[in-house]
Structure 1
Amino acid sequence: MIKNNKIKTEEVHLTGLDGEDLGIVQTSEALAIAKENKVDLVCTSMLSNPPPCTLIASGKAKQEKQKANKKARKPKVKEIRLTPVIEEHDLETKIRRAEQILQSGDSVYLVVKGNESGKSKEMLESLLQELSHLGTKKTGVQTSGKQTAVQVDPVE
């Protein structure tokens, strides 16, 4: 995103504060309009000729860029390990941690290690019930070897 005096073209296709089309104007004139209204002149794409530019309230351009970057980031998958024989308090702590991860927009991979696959599956099903308001299971409950696992993605 190129702002204000860093725009080096002769003329730009200008869009006003309320989205109205102001047409093709000289860059110096567009900068004067931006300065007069105490806003920023932001170039949205340098690929076309003349490049499209928009008048945006100061600081709002930076917020929009940060918001776009946040949406574009790939969600991480964070693993939480459990055992089939776990204290009630420890289980509650793990659930709170999983809720925090889901609220931040990342996925949770719940893994129960141990030989008791029946009990492990029941534990994961109950965890899925508790986390259902924040996330949905991406995969089914999978058992492989001595571990049972499920991935929970945040609700959009």
Structure 2
Amino acid sequence: MLIMNEKIKASEVRLTGVDGEELGIVSRDEALALARELKADLVCTSLLSSPPPCRLTPRGTAKQTAAKEKQQERKAAQPAKVKEIRLTPHIEDHDYETKRRQAEKLLASGDAVQFVVKIQGKEGQRAKELLEQLLKELAEVGRKETGIQLSGKQAAVRVNPVQ
């Protein structure tokens, strides 16, 4: 939570200037007067110490910074989306390159990718080789979460982005 200007209740504050210079311990009224004079906001950075540390920031930037931090926290709290990319064992080179580039983009943007290769008959080994080749080429941007799973009619592997 952001406490600024008149909402600061302490009688004295440890003040830091706009450029980061230490201004020492001053009364709240003196700090508010200085903030008005410099067309700045007085922002309390912590309530845990006495007197509370406060800093002068250009007007409006404190709220913007707090909003950005809140947005970043919200974004980080969301689980990574898993995007599925489907292939066949007999994929053309051009199509393979397109799927690989698509996976690179998804991994770079922070999403996980699930590769699924549809299998018919005895194509299991070919599907496994295809997935291993993809994993090798995507090693810089993604790491496999699971091993290659062959089951019935498909082979699958999940790749997470590298942080």
Alignment map for 1:133-152 (pairs within 5 Å): 133-152=140-159
Aligned-pair identity in percent equals 52
Structure showing greater radius of gyration is: 2
User: Is 1:79 aligned with 2:84?
Assistant: yes
The equivalent of 1:130 in structure 2 is 137
Q: TM-score, normalised by structure 2?
A: 0.71
How far apart, CA to CA, are the structure 2 residues paired with 1:98 and 1:112?
14
Residue 114 of structure 1 aligns with which residue? 119
Aligned CA-pair RMSD = 3.3
- Shift in Å at residue 88 of structure 1? 1.2
Moved more, 28-37 or 78-87: 28-37
What residue ranges of structure 1 are gaps of 5+ in the alignment? none
Give the structure 1 partner of residue 2 of structure 2: 2
Match of 2:96 among 87, 91, 100: 91
Q: CA deviation at 1:36?
A: 4.8
Q: Are 1:4 and 1:31, in contact at CA under 8 Å, matched by a contact in 2?
A: no
Superimposed CA distance per residue, residues 72-104 of structure 1 (whole angstroms, 9 cap, x where no aligned partner): 332111111111111111111100100000000
Offset at residue 64 of structure 1 (A): 3.3
Contact kept, 8 Å, 1:3 with 1:40, in 2: the verdict is no
Distance change (3 Å), C-alpha of 1:109 and 1:9: same
> Contact (CA 8 Å) 2:32, 2:42: kept in 1 or not?
yes
Going from structure 1 to structure 2, the CA distance change for 1:125 and 1:9 (only over 3 Å counts) comes to: same
Contact 2:8 2:44 in 1 (8 A): no
Number of positions where the alignment pairs a residue of Structure 1 with one of Structure 2: 154
Give the distance between the partners of 1:25 and 1:61, measured in 2 at CA.
25
Q: 1:15 to 1:9 in 2, by over 3 A?
A: closer
Supply the AA of the counterpart residue of 1:90.
Answer: D
